[in-house]
Structure 1
Amino acid sequence: MAKKYQVFISSTFDDLKEHRDAVVKAVLQLGHLPVGMEMFNAGDQTQWETIRSYIDSSDYYLVVLAHRYGSIDPGSGLSYTEQEYDYAGEQGIPRLGFVIDKNAQWPASQVEAKAKKKLDAFKSKVGKARVIKFWDTTDKLAYHISLSLSNEIAINPRTGWVRATEAASPQVAEELARLIKENKKFQAQIAESQLNSKIDVLKKVISETYITSDKDHAVKVNLYEVFMAVSSLQPDASKGGISNEIDKNKGRDDNFYNAIENALKELVRLGLTTTETMSSNQPGLSQWKEIFAYDVWKLTEKGSELYTLIRYSHLK
């Protein structure tokens, strides 16, 4: 069952309007549900109560920081953005931080010198998060959002939402229908010629490469198919699982497994994957550690970037 995740986007507003739009589009491109304070009215609740209710229902939390600290809550003395960040952490919601690079060009009119000390302290706090990326352009911010959120979802999946056809709530169906409409609108607005060019270059090496078995070159496998099988089985892709992904119907022999093994070695050589030996931690099996050991293949940063770009192309 495919899941959609609700992603809360937090930042100051006036100075980052263009950047928030890019973040919203990036989240929608991944097929998930972005929410933020500009997307709804406070209603009868106070602003902070409304913010908390939306953070509570979110699966992931993104914060984007530039050179403004933002509106300060008189009660706590903290900006609403920092309060949101702290509250998400208290609720155990995974937090991903995206901070402007100190050398990035930025309009002087959008620099808040008065609250610089508080802003620097907040940036330092965000810098200690498990996921932190630095950006200097809107495009680079959107790229980091897509890659980091995809990786976080892969290693730390949350409750999420199911499709409207599989959910009992009519409210969920209405919300998903609205988001699908917005997604199509944003996709029509995004120029993807440069992205397509980059994908083509990165894919060319592996999509046109076939790896054969050692014995008489009896069996050959496509390197691109092996890469996609490894990617789909993250975080831990075993050789048996990879073989099943590539060929679920045909019979296999030693030549088939040998060709898979050779392809996996080639992916490591290209810097797209790395291998790691796992062993059983079950009580009483320590003396059989070597027998119960097995290898898994993991995507490198380079491999993760390629997989994210390929997924982008499939969303068009």
Structure 2
Amino acid sequence: MNRKLQVFVSSTYTDLKRERQAAVEAILKAGHIPAGMELFAAGSDEQMKVIRRWIDNSDVYLLILGGRYGSIDPHTKKSYTQLEYEYALETEKPLFALYMTKEYFDQKVGEMRTAAVEMDNSAALQEFRRLVTSKMCASFDNLASLQLAVFQSMSDFNNDTKLVGWVRGDEVVNAKQTLEQMTVLQIERDAIRKELEELKKVSTSSPLKPLSEEAMKLLRAMSRDARGVAHLSLTSGGFSVESNGKRITPHPVPHRAEVRWRAAAQDLVDRGYANSDEERDLFQLNHVGYEAAERLLNQNPASPPPSS
């Protein structure tokens, strides 16, 4: 499934237009969705409510910090950019910040003059910068290094399976169809368990018989496994048995053959050779089973190894 993460991009406006555009391009090239703050006109309580909802609905928060502090909220006396950043911290939103180096700042001042410099709230900007650099952040000294930092960070976030992201509607799993398939498999599983119970009743009332071919294959494979384990699994493609890192069955066998293999595994349990975890369909040899395997397999040395 092709998941796309939504990234909320926060920065001051007039001084960082090129930097924000470079970050948006890097997010798009990484295959994700930017939510640029240029879509909003921060400056009122109502707009901040809208921005907070967008941050809530985004997977990742990105701050680009330059030489300006930004517009001030009259209630908190903090810039709206800082309020956005603190809200992302407060809500534990996955985030990262990029701040420009002094060399790049000097270059910006040479190009933009006072438009790149904070004239009124320099102390507040320095305090905000100390907060940002105490968290997850990186510096950039040109547009290329900014884009590289964004691209690398998005690669890391993309590996985080806890992030929800967005997917195309036609890629979403059909829940109804999956539920129907699971119901059919459960019915078949219950029927097989019932048949196994009947087989157990027959086996306990009859003299002990030689191990079946399936039981011998199980015993052989489990004795060669480091943990002495065999796993029986039922999927939509059929039933399969695995042990020692290999399939004992060459291919998933039809559902009707599952009865024989489950009976073989249960036979090992009934003889005291193995213990079972029925919830996970795991069977594990005990010391009696290892002794039996050594004795029985020495009697049949020509038996072939499990198919892979």
Query: Residues 155, 73 of structure 1: CA spacing in aligned structure 2 closer, same or farther, 3 A cutoff?
Result: same
Matched residue, 1:294 = none
Matched residue, 1:162 = 167
Aligned residue runs from structure 1 range 275-294, under 5 A: none
Query: Residues 102, 91 of structure 1: CA spacing in aligned structure 2 closer, same or farther, 3 A cutoff?
Result: same
Matched residue, 1:153 = 158
Query: Residues 41, 98 of structure 1: CA spacing in aligned structure 2 closer, same or farther, 3 A cutoff?
Result: closer
2:46 aligned partner, one-letter code: T
Query: Residues 45, 103 of structure 1: CA spacing in aligned structure 2 closer, same or farther, 3 A cutoff?
Result: closer
Matched residue, 1:9 = 9
1:73 aligned partner, one-letter code: D
Query: For the residues of structure 1 that align with 2:40 and 2:76, how far apart are their CA atoms?
Result: 24
Residue 118 of structure 1 pairs with residue 124 of structure 2: yes
| Deviations 1:207-233, CA, capped at 9 Å, x for gaps | xxxxxxxxxxxxxxxxxxxxxxxxxxx
Residue 77 of structure 1 pairs with residue 77 of structure 2: yes
Query: For the residues of structure 1 that align with 2:166 and 2:85, how far apart are their CA atoms?
Result: 23
Matched residue, 2:93 = 93
Q: Which moved more, 1:86-95 or 1:60-69?
A: 86-95
Matched residue, 2:48 = 48
Query: For the residues of structure 2 that align with 1:157 and 1:73, how far apart are their CA atoms?
Result: 33
Alignment TM-score, normalising by the size of structure 1: 0.49
- Among 93, 101, 108, the alignment partner of 1:106 is 108
2:140 aligned partner, one-letter code: W
- Measure how far apart 1:166 and its partner are: 3.0
Query: For the residues of structure 1 that align with 2:161 and 2:92, how far apart are their CA atoms?
Result: 12
- Measure how far apart 1:40 and its partner are: 5.4
What is the root-mean-square deviation of aligned Cα atoms in Å? 2.1
Query: Residues 31, 101 of structure 1: CA spacing in aligned structure 2 closer, same or farther, 3 A cutoff?
Result: same
Matched residue, 2:145 = 140
1:151 aligned partner, one-letter code: D
Matched residue, 2:277 = none
The residue matched to 1:96 in structure 2 has which SS? Answer: strand
2:151 aligned partner, one-letter code: S
Query: For the residues of structure 2 that align with 1:86 and 1:17, how far apart are their CA atoms?
Result: 22
- Measure how far apart 1:78 and its partner are: 0.7
Matched residue, 2:33 = 33
Query: For the residues of structure 2 that align with 1:157 and 1:62, how far apart are their CA atoms?
Result: 18
Query: For the residues of structure 1 that align with 2:41 and 2:143, how far apart are their CA atoms?
Result: 27
Query: Residues 156, 98 of structure 1: CA spacing in aligned structure 2 closer, same or farther, 3 A cutoff?
Result: farther
Query: For the residues of structure 2 that align with 1:50 and 1:167, how far apart are their CA atoms?
Result: 28
Query: For the residues of structure 2 that align with 1:157 and 1:14, how far apart are their CA atoms?
Result: 35
- Measure how far apart 1:35 and its partner are: 0.4
Q: Which has the larger radius of gyration?
A: 2
The residue matched to 1:77 in structure 2 has which SS? Answer: coil
Query: For the residues of structure 1 that align with 2:152 and 2:92, how far apart are their CA atoms?
Result: 21
